Amino acid sequence: MKFGELAGYLERLEKTSSRIEITKILAELLKKTTAEDVDKVVYLLLGGLGPKYEGRVLNLADKMMFRVIAKASGEEVDKVILAFKDKGDIGNVAQLFCKGQGSLTVVDVFEALVDVSDDSGEGSQERKVAKMAALLGKLDPLSARYVARIPLGRLRLGFSDKTILDALSWMERGDKSAKSLVEKAYQVLPDPGILARNIKAQGMEKATKNVTPQVGVPVEPMLAQRIKSPTEMVAKMGKVAVEPKLDGLRLSIHFKRGAKGFVKAYTRNMNETSWMFPELARLGEEIKGNEVILDSEAVGLDEGTKQMANFQTTMTRRRKHGIDEVAAKTRIEFFVFDILFKDGKNLMDKPYTIRRKFLEETIGHQKKLKLVDYQLTDNPVKIEQIYKDKIEKGLEGVVVKKIDGGYVPGRTGFRWVKMKQVEKAHGKLSDTVDCVVMGYTRGKGKRANFGLGQFLVGVRDGETIKTTTKIGTGLTDEQFRELKVRLDKLEVKEKPKNYEIHKNYTPDVWVEPLLVVEIAADEISVSPTHTAGLALRFPRLIRFRDDKGPGEATTTSELRRLFELQKTTH
């Protein structure tokens, strides 16, 4: 396929707001793409060069892209910068200046971008600029528009992997009837390019049947539901295992022994964060097995008190520079609570009790890998007692697990249920809400110094982000400053197409839907103007959730569930 043809589809997608129409356009494109090219087309549609967990980036910031476009077109850099200030989008600027003939194929463009991404070491920045300029110089204006956006992660098509999965069903069956098959396969092997290639080559049933975990490829994590009381938990789940709920960083640990072995760690949004944890290098000494996938919580320890530290302390590890120094100050232990795969055996469909037996045989009680304790019961009073005991010990609460349940990615069914501490004051919500920041107002008075007054947040409804509250109080000066720095990097000139918002809440500045924040509130109320239909009252920022992407934000249905639970506890 010529890249110019793909660019035509990208333009159609960018101009389309209807989710179903976007899905149909994608299905049409995928149907006419060969099995050999389809993985590359899928990655490019998502603005990347591979599955998300590989973390492949081009490392070309805005200022470097100005130089790229100037070099590709023969124009002065100042003229390119002036055009960017006017248009606010690097793709539109590239389309204005780049006048190539457009004979490259999708594979040509993909491989050229991979070459830019792989270039590293001394002098690599200049080589990247030269290679990217050479590529743009060969592209027609419309193709240049989309290729120029890829290094900045701003393709601006308004959809993610989930819509690609829907499109694969439409491609094969002309409707969404195969959606569940595709999603189940993706949850275990979250590589939309490989999945598309397998479906094209093998057909839907064969490509999605019996997909097993692979060491080195993160599985979508299983998530806990909310239930109002231990009595309801037992009624829905029967006999359960009660585990402590830890305030750490959820990590999937992948271990492979041997000459080509490794230990890798992935957060719940499937980003590899192995560099954060030098301790991983020695975990092989504590694992009995050759290939293992574990589910765990990384928890920092306060060196003074030798007690578990909070999430924010653990997340000081996210700095890439000086990590050894940070690691020396904040010791980490990995509290393991599940096992998904061991030595060629897929354990995800096994009951909790069987997986637990494999887990105990695999790690036992070690120095860095700690086995999370559990108690079996079908007595609601016992669950309440365990919960109170964990709270008194400074933990967040408990997670209650159905003992005959398999490991099912996502938040489905009542297999896992969390029970967190309810705030003492009357009317406070019993759980926080993970929201996507959508934009902000610039602020007046003291807030003008921060450049930010209130920020608007929303929750997910499929691929759409719907508003639920504005937040302007409860932040420290330091949090205001940090938020402004983070949002400056995400600013866009126009409202992202997947935002659904009432005119009353239009912000001064729009930002891309990439930053997730954890919000506490006093209550949830019905709202005629917030597009989620519900509003958080007296909201306050708890923390930035760097371990979560927008795909892990709270959904509108989860928010409604919290609203219903609130009514029963008031």
The residues carrying an active-site annotation are 245
Cα distance between residue 136 and residue 74, in whole Å: 12
Beta carbons of 452 and 476 less than 8 angstroms apart: no
Please list the alpha-helical segments (H only) found in 209-351: 230-237, 311-314, 323-329
Q: Is the dihedral of CA 198, 203, 206, 210 positive or negative?
A: positive
Cα distance between residue 269 and residue 52, in whole Å: 9
Measured from the Cβ of residue 525, the count of other Cβ atoms closer than 10 Å reads 13
Please list the alpha-helical segments (H only) found in 2-123: 3-15, 19-32, 38-45, 62-73, 77-87, 90-97, 106-118
Measured from the Cβ of residue 462, the count of other Cβ atoms closer than 10 Å reads 14
Cα distance between residue 51 and residue 29, in whole Å: 19
First to last CA, the chain: 60
Beta carbons of 143 and 97 less than 8 angstroms apart: no
Count of residues for the chain? 570
339: helix, strand or coil: strand
Which residue, among 28, 43, 11, 50, has the nearest Cα to 144 in the 3D structure? 11
Listed as own residue / partner, the contacts of 409-413 with beta carbons closer than 8 Å and 24 or more positions apart are 409/187, 409/188, 409/219, 409/220, 409/221, 409/222, 410/187, 410/220, 410/222, 410/223, 411/223, 411/224, 411/225, 411/558, 413/225
Which residue, among 376, 375, 372, has the nearest Cα to 359 in the 3D structure? 372
